[in-house]
Amino acid sequence: MPQLDFATYPPQLVWLAITFTVMFIIMWKVAVPKISDALEARQMRLEENLKKAEDLKREAEATLAAYENALAEARAEAHNQIVKIQADLQEAAAKEEEELNEKLDAKLAESERAIAAEVEKAMESVRDVAVDIAGAAVERLSGGAQDKAAVEKAVDSAINGKA
């Protein structure tokens, strides 16, 4: 094998040095800058994508915060409306109850007046019957006619004394 021949080492080393130098210069001047540019472009795209992602994230967070605020405001408004409606209903119920109480009080007062008038009529009827019965009892017991005014006075005093 010619590579292992010690006599051919120095020219192989010279060509190795020349080839290495040429390849190093080509890599240094052509390939490495292209690779470097590609890496820098890739890095810039990554950074831009990260910035866009951060911007989108901030925008999404702002949108979410706005949505949550709008939702909270809507809930608060709905709660306020519910409270207002409940208050209105309670007020209407209280007003209706008050009107019904007034009507019932008026009917009760009217009924009491009617009952009092009927009681008064009944008492007059009872008084008249009591006067007639007392007069008849006095006539039977005494055997003679009694003064109707005296019997009425006695019945009135008996009714007023018990009342």
Contact 131, 151 (CB under 8 A): yes
3: amino acid identity, one letter? Q
User: How many structural domains does the chain have?
Assistant: 1
Q: Is position 2 within any domain?
A: no
Share of the chain above pLDDT 70, in %: 97
Length of the chain, in residues: 163
Q: Is position 84 within any domain?
A: yes
Q: Is position 1 within any domain?
A: no
pLDDT digits (tens, 9 = 90+) for 16-70: 999 999 999 999 999 999 999 999 999 999 999 999 999 999 999 999 999 999 9
Q: Is position 93 within any domain?
A: yes
Domain that holds residue 156: 10-162
Q: Is position 3 within any domain?
A: no
Q: Is position 23 within any domain?
A: yes
pTM of the predicted model, to two decimals?
Answer: 0.43
Q: Is position 143 within any domain?
A: yes
Helix 148-162 and helix 32-142: axis angle, to 10°? 150
| C-alpha–C-alpha distance, residues 89 and 24, integer Å | 93
Give the torsion through C-alpha atoms of 37, 38, 40, 43, to 10 deg: 170
Nearest alpha carbon to residue 98 among 84, 110, 106: 106
- Tell me the average pLDDT across 89-93: 96
Average pLDDT across the chain, whole number: 89
Q: Is position 4 within any domain?
A: no
In this prediction, residue 163 carries a pLDDT of 44
